[in-house]
């Protein structure tokens, strides 16, 4: 409090004045205290919370022992039973019970922000790249749009053949494909 702080009466103000003089607190110290208070009011709370978080983290880690982990596991296992009870409540003859159960289901599924994205979210932008390099064996065109090559080399027999003689999207010609297929069927019976 500053030297002009409000007090309840003249007697309290005088008592405060004597107390401050006895403690040997001057106006500069009071001003510094006021500065610290203002700092805490403006942004110090965030700093204090961060320091508390750092200081308490080891204490919390130490407090989490095997009993706590087992208790958390038990709580998680109880959710299946809770869902079963909720399903029973949804089929209840009592109208109020059904209504409350339905409200819970809607609250924790349809209305839950972690499960349902808000409508106003914009979808991520899509980038389309044109004129990417084509893999080997695909028709290539010149500047006028004429087909440059309609052949491809088979990866099995190493013979250059027209694209029509290749299995769709394959690097193997139809002859080699049929030969390998027959060998596999013969081996497998």
What's the pLDDT tens digit per position in 117-168?
666 767 778 888 776 665 655 555 666 766 656 778 888 898 888 877 887 7
Q: Work out the average pLDDT over 44-60.
A: 80
CB 139 within 8 A of CB 149: yes
Distance CA 70, CA 75 (A): 9
Distance CA 181, CA 172 (A): 12
Q: What is the pTM of this model?
A: 0.31
The phi and psi torsions of 105 (rounded to 5 degrees) equal -60, -45
Distance CA 115, CA 110 (A): 7
Q: Which of 45-49, 64-68, 110-114 has maximum average pLDDT? A: 64-68
CB 70 within 8 A of CB 77: no
Q: Where are the alpha helices (DSSP H) in the chain?
A: 10-22, 27-39, 45-63, 66-90, 95-108, 174-188
Distance CA 98, CA 116 (A): 24
Judged against a pLDDT cut of 70, whether residue 38 lies above it is answered with yes
Q: Work out the average pLDDT over 164-173.
A: 80
Q: pLDDT, tens digit, for every residue of 84-106?
A: 999 999 998 999 999 999 988 88
Distance CA 30, CA 16 (A): 13
Distance CA 127, CA 119 (A): 23
């Amino acid at each position: 409090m500053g030297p002009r702080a409000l007090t309840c009466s003249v007697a309290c103000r005088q008592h405060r004045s004597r107390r401050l003089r006895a403690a040997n607190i001057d106006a500069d110290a009071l001003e510094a205290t006021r500065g610290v208070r203002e700092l805490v009011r403006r942004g110090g709370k965030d700093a204090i919370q961060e320091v508390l978080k750092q200081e308490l983290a080891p204490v919390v880690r130490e407090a989490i022992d095997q009993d706590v982990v087992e208790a958390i596991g038990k709580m998680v296992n109880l959710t299946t039973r809770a869902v079963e009870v909720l399903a029973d409540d949804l089929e209840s003859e009592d109208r109020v019970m059904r209504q409350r159960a339905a409200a819970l289901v809607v609250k924790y599924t349809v209305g839950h922000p972690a499960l349902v994205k808000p409508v106003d979210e914009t979808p991520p932008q899509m980038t389309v790249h044109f004129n990417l390099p084509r893999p080997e064996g695909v028709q290539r065109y010149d500047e006028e749009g004429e087909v440059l090559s309609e052949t491809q080399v088979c990866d099995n027999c190493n013979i250059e053949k027209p694209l029509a003689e290749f299995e769709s999207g394959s690097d193997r010609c139809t002859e080699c494909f049929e030969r390998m297929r027959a060998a596999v069927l013969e081996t497998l019976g």
